[in-house]
Structures are given as structure tokens and as C-alpha cells.
Structure 1
Amino acid sequence: MHPHPGRRAVFAALPLITLPARAQDAFPSRPITIINAYAAGGQTDIAARLTADRLATAIGQRVMVENRVGGATSIASTAVMQARPDGYTLLAGTSSLAINPTLQPRLTPRNPQAELAPVGMVYRGAFVLHIYPGLPARTLPEFIAYAKAHPGALNYGGVVGTVVHLAMEMLCQRAGIEMTAVPNRGGAEGLLDLQAGRIHCNFQSPVEALASLHEGRTRALAMSSRQRLANLPDVPTVAETLPGFEAVLWMALFAPIGTPEPVISTVAGALNSVTESRDYQARMAQIGLTAESGGPSDVRTRLAADTANWGRVITEAGIRTD
């Protein structure tokens, strides 16, 4: 049987009906995950979770922290680099992003400035340079003079490749002194070594060092930040003796490359409202950190400057991790 001769003409005459496209959900329409490279319970993890809680209120969605520890922070970074660029997976990136390209160039990201999209600053953390009280020095200039008079006789502690380790190497380079690095497993071990005189000096988180300083078991000489700290107002900065010196641990949020600019702007705006709040600033101060505001351009500037600075320090000191 042949089809009705006029059927094709009838179909052709029907108007084309276009169904409306489903409107794209406004961002954010579901929970956001922040990937953190550090173990639960530490200062960095506490800061990440505090930030996530406040960010959730500011952005109107749940914000979770997921710990992916290992690979000198590369496991967490790689997870974010490979995530869908939609703003729902972010990295709590730290100073390691500026250190690893020179210290451990085989790790990913090899070039964080090109492989991650900056979102906004979160905090910075300074360190106090304190010494074994048996040393005669009471100021940084006196300490430098003593070290020059006793080349190679002093040693310091630190986890290899961390900011506290590199800060001490930078101090040696800028001051023209020679000291020996004594690797340890972290702040608590370093503090015990310093109190016992097994090492002579150390850069340490103020929160970790305060009790020891107040008890006179160690002696503070200087802060690694450009400004003095409110809770240690009488301790000068290293920069007051060696102009331009700064060594801080920082955190910033990053997104996968290709994340839409409006999405990044939304997160950056919400994050700034968090870091600028007095309550958040007070809570961060309690754990020894300083809240820092700033958008993508501020993160780029910090990352580029620290990558160049730590690269020079590592290369000049000949530091290796293998």
C-alpha cells in the first residue's frame, strides 16, 4: 500500500516547534568540596575547615573539606587539576605550590601558575625565630655576629623543604652566616630539640613557641613577617635587620583551569567577605594565622613572587630531597 500522496506535503507544511532549553542551574546549586593536602587536626586543616564553614554561610551552599594527603601535596593538587572545571572542586593550596617546582620538579603541578586557576587568598602565617637561651645573643644582630665568629658551629632544625627550613637557609644567605641543618619531623620535635640545646635556633609557629618563650626555655629574636605580631609586639622583624626579608606560610583557594570567570568571581567575592569579617580574623589569630583578603590577581602575585624567591634559595643552598 502506498502512503497517502499528500502526507509528505502536509508534514512539510507543519511549523517547526522548538522546545525551550533547560535553564542552567545558577552556581552554586550543590555542595562544594575543598581538597586539602594536609592531615586532619593540624593547623592547616583547622584553618581550611574554619574557612569552609564561613564560606558555606557566605555562598549559600554546604562546603566540605576532603583530606588527600601524600606526594608532598601533589595528590591533592592533581585531584583538583583533573576535576571538572565547574567551581565545585577547589584546592586549599599553600606555599608548597611555590616550593615544589624547584625542590621536586617531577611532581605535579610542575607549573602551578599555568596549571591551576587562582581564586582568592585565605591566610598567611609568620614564624618566630627563637634560640637556645644558653647562647649569649639577645638580638638578631648579636646572633648574626656570634654566628659569623663561629662559622658552622651552630645548627638549626626543620622539616626539609618546608617554609621554616627555607626561611633559615634564606637567613643564612642574606646574613652571610654558616649553620648546619638538622632535619626533624615537625614543630613539636624541633621545640624539644631547641629547649634541650640539641639545636641552637629554629623558626617556629608563634602558637607552638609562646609557652616556651614565656617560660624562658627559649628566647625570641625576630619575626619572619614584614610586620610585628600583635601578640609579640616587642619582637622585631628580621626585615628590621635584613631589609626585604619575608618568609610566611600562606593558603589560597585554586580551581581547575577552565573554570568560568563568573564562577571564580562568585567564590572570590564570598571568600573575601569571610576573610574581612572580624569574627573570622579573631578565630584565625587564635591559631596563629592572619586572615588575608585578595582575589585572583593577588594570588598570582604571591605565587609568582614566592616561586622566584624560594627557587633562588633552594638553588643557592643546593637543597635536594632525594
Structure 2
Amino acid sequence: MGDFFASLLFPIEWFVAWVMVTAHAGLTAIGFASDGGPAWTLSIIAVVLVVRTLLIPLFVRQIKASRAMQIIQPELKKIQDKYKGRSDQASREAMTKETMELYRSSKTNPFASCLPILVQLPIFFGLFRVLNRLRTGGEIGPFNDALIAEAQQARFFGAPLSDTMLTATSPWTYVVAPVLVVIMTVSQFYVQRMLMTKNMSPAAMDSPFFKQQKMLLYVLPLVFAVSGVGFAIGLVLYWCTTNIYSAVQQTIVIRSLPAPGSPAEKELEARRRRKAERKAARTGKSVEEILGLPEPVEDAEPAAPAKRVQPRKQPRSKRKPGAA
């Protein structure tokens, strides 16, 4: 099983090693020290940038899937309410069939939102194995003996990039590694929480899917915090950079393309209205005209009721003869 896993990861390890060596060569060409920490640290960050650039199509698909899931939440809730309290096998199968039919008709995949992180996991393990081989001196991909020796000398704030808290060769590892693990855990929590609090409609928050995500919101950072003691400094640095990249990317997307009915959509509408009000003050146009909305129809004031004219009694002098 171990050999199969190793053979499966070998192309990914080679790709990660190639990106690191190529980035390192470019950095040394512009003046960075070949065996210095900055060159190798930036080489690991380059892996993040390359991977995340390649994952942009999957990220776009994730955003579309998330929006589609929120749009069909009312229909999903109707199906769930329809079979609520019915636990027999036939009811469960019927609910599953109707749910899958709704996914099919709306061209929605509930697992599409997980694709980017699932695709990144092999890269994560590939970098783990590369750093481990650099620590033990094992060759991989374009790394030759000279590059391996230089990478082993690379430091991040005094801690070797291939060090872990379990296999520390420098006292600085016990300082740098915990700080990076905390940054990794907090940033992972922030990225997930931002999606759940800003870019979900009330209907989506009332769904079982949201409850599962809420559980992962606390479980995943805890898993990373516990397992982080066995991660190399370079690996934790990679995941911290990935989380920061994700936070920036999601902030831009949530501000410009919020999910329907989410708090972010209300904030976007408020920003557009404020901008339209400023433009209306300069141009004299109405806010509705600038936003392309129909002009409000003012209710006409109701006509005042006609006053009844009371007949007046003529003076006795003007009455006709014989009139009472």
C-alpha cells in the first residue's frame, strides 16, 4: 500500500520539486543568495502561486456551485419538509431520489465546492515528501546534491525549512513552528467562517449542508493544529500562504459576486446605492435612473370631498306673492 501511495504521489512530488528549483533559479539570478532562507522560502510560496493559478477554473466552478446550491435551498427545504418525520425506507429513498433529481435539473453538484481543497491535498502531501527527502538527503526530481545541500542550509527566522517540532535540529524551530501553526489554524478558521457568515442566505443557513459545514469550521482547524507539530516549517509556511491567498481571493469574489440573499449582497446593494446617490447629486439625475430601476410612482393626493351648499332662505321682501 505504501509503495502504491508513493508511486501515485511521485509525479506530484516531481512537479513540486521542479517549481521550487525553477523559482529558486530565477531568484538567484536576480541576486538572492543560493543557500539563503529568502530564496527557498519564496520558492515554496511560488508553489502556492503556481498551484492556485492552475486551480482558478476549479475555483470559478466552486463559486458557481455555491451560488447554485443557495438558489435551490428553498426547493430542498420543501423536499425535506415533505418527508419530515417519516423514517421508513421507502420515504428515505423517495427523498433521496427527489433531491438528486433537483440537483440534476438545476445542474448543481453539492461536492463541487470541496474540489479546490481536495485537489490541493495531493500537492500538500507531495511537498511534505519533498521537504522530508531534503531533510534526509534523498534525491528527487531536478534536485541534485548541490541543491539539496543548499536547501538544508535554508532558514526561516533561524529555523530550518525542513525541521519539525518532532525532529528539530535548531532551538529556533520550537519558536517559529508554534507561531506558524497558530497562524495556519487561525487563517483556516477565518477563511471558512468568512464564507459562512458573509456569503450565505438565511435559507442556506437553515439547511443540513450548512450544519455540516459549521461542524467542519471547528473540526478542520483543530485537526491542523494537532497535526501541525509533525509538519515541516516549509509545509506550514505553504499552508499559511494558501490560506492568506484564499482569504484575499474570497474577499474579492464575495464583494463583487455575492450569493443571492446573503449579507454580502445587501452590502453590495448598499454600496451601489451610496455611489448612485453621490452621482445623482452631481448630475441631477434620480438614483433609480442611475441604477436602472423603475421610477417610484407617487400616489396622487385624494380629491377633497365637495362641500354641500346649504340653501339659503330668501328675504321676505324678495319672495314671490303667494310663496310661504
Q: Shorter-chain TM-score: which interval?
A: under 0.3
Query: Taking structure 1 as the reference length, what is the TM-score of the superposition?
Result: 0.24
Larger Rg: 2
Greater RCO (Cα-Cα under 8 Å, separation 6 or more) = 1
Query: Taking structure 2 as the reference length, what is the TM-score of the superposition?
Result: 0.24
Structure richer in strand, relative to its length:
1
